[in-house]
Amino acid sequence: MKTELKLGTFRFPGQAGPRAGSVVGENQVVDLNLAYAAYLSSKELATQPYQLADAVVPTEMVAFLKGGSQAIEAARKAVDYVKS
**pLDDT the model gives residue 18:** 93
**pLDDT the model gives residue 78:** 97
Cα–Cα distance between 60 and 62 in angstroms, integer?
6
Give the model confidence (pLDDT) of 30-83 as tens digits: 999 999 999 999 999 999 999 999 999 999 999 999 999 999 999 999 999 999
Beta bridge partners of 22: 7, 30
Neighbour tally for 30: CB within 10 Å: 23
